[in-house]
Amino acid sequence: MAIQFSKLTERGSLNCIWIGEDLNAQREIFTVASIILLETSRVNVGIRVTSPLARNISTIARASATLSQIGRGRFRLGLDAARPNALMRDATTLLRRIWRGETVTFTSDNFRLSNYYARYKASFAMPIYFGVREPELLALAGETADGVILSGPRKYIEKAVAIVDEGLRKGKRSRRSFRVVVWVPTVIVAKKSDVNSARQEVATALADTPKAVLEMADIAQERVKPIKAVMAEKGVNGASRIVAEDLLQEVAIYGSPEEIALDLRSLEKYGIDEAIFGPPYGRKPVKAIEEMAQAWKKLR
């Protein structure tokens, strides 16, 4: 399925395919990404996202270097960890030191390397994107990463970009060489009932949204608590039924392919460089992606 998606993406006018990591999935994300890079020639391929703790840091470094060679620079690494800043800062620093060919000795609570050096050459640039949401980590992304992948309500996105910009200023870094990506649950709606899948995605997203993000989005926690409660009791179907219309509009984008394309384009006003047409896509995902790619091409 992922390969089929990628080929559609490549045939259309889309720029990147981002692959999400599901630790319970039967397919290892770096291997899937390699196959997609091998089966395409133009489109970028990103991992959105893996934890720096899911594998040994040396494994993340070499898997990324291998993918970068296979894709001749088309690979992007997305990192995420629900931990303090030090973890992400250390992970980023270590990866870059390994890729530079340094002999690395480093000890922290999370990483331990001793006279380690890579025998492969990291021949292409490997941009690191932070898939983070908390304000401190957003600022750190601006300071140290090559890009950030945002997700959440629109108001939150607007404020998150401002925090990332602060981080960029603090790190004395240029906004031009940094990419802000936003991931949006998107559904092509052919029938009224198709909106339900958007509601389900929004219910899942909101139930998992940290307090800080809700505050930034001006969404009272009291509005999300019932969704979480119903989710725990009746599952996502039940929870989706109590997602209010304004929350649906804030978090997801749905409509015809043309409407979605326009809506995604409108995110530019927040300073977004790239919008991800995210799942659940529509009733028929492959067809939905094809239609979306065509609509985006027309808009451009």
Partner 1 sequence: MEKAKVDFAVGLNAYETVEEIVDKCVEAERLGLDYVWIGDSPPHLYCPSVAAAVASRTKKIRIGLGLLSTLLHTPDQISGGITPLIEAYGDRFEICLGVGDRSQLSRVGIDSKLVRVWDHVLKAKRKIARSLRASGLTTKIWLGAQGPRMLAASKSFDGVLINYASPKMIKWAMDKIEPVARKDFDLGIYAPSYVYREWHLQAYRLLRVASAVVALGAPTAVLDGFGFSKRLRRAKKEHESGLRIESVVKHVPAEVVDSFSIYTPSSRLRSYLSELGDLGISHIVFGFPQNLSKITIRDLASALPFP
Q: Which residues contribute to the site for partner 1 (CB under 8 A)?
A: 3, 23, 25-28, 30-35, 38-39, 55-59, 62-63, 65-67, 69-70, 111-121, 123
Report, in Å, the least distance between residue 284 CB and partner 1. 21
Ramachandran class of 189: left when φ > 0, alpha when ψ lies in -120 to 50, beta otherwise = beta
Q: Which is nearer to partner 1, 54 or 262 (CB)?
A: 54
Quick count: other Cβ atoms within 10 Å of Cβ 284? Answer: 12
CB 217 within 8 A of CB 250: yes
Report, in Å, the least distance between residue 267 CB and partner 1. 32
Report, in Å, the least distance between residue 204 CB and partner 1. 23
Report, in Å, the least distance between residue 55 CB and partner 1. 7
Can you tell me the distance from the alpha carbon of 220 to that of 176, in angstroms, rounded to the nearest whole number?
Answer: 35
CB 212 within 8 A of CB 228: no
Q: Which is nearer to partner 1, 77 or 217 (CB)?
A: 77
Q: Which is nearer to partner 1, 65 or 205 (CB)?
A: 65
Report, in Å, the least distance between residue 120 CB and partner 1. 5
Q: Which is nearer to partner 1, 20 or 171 (CB)?
A: 20
Can you tell me the distance from the alpha carbon of 194 to that of 111, in angstroms, rounded to the nearest whole number?
Answer: 45
Can you tell me the distance from the alpha carbon of 274 to that of 132, in angstroms, rounded to the nearest whole number?
Answer: 16
Can you tell me the distance from the alpha carbon of 80 to that of 143, in angstroms, rounded to the nearest whole number?
Answer: 15
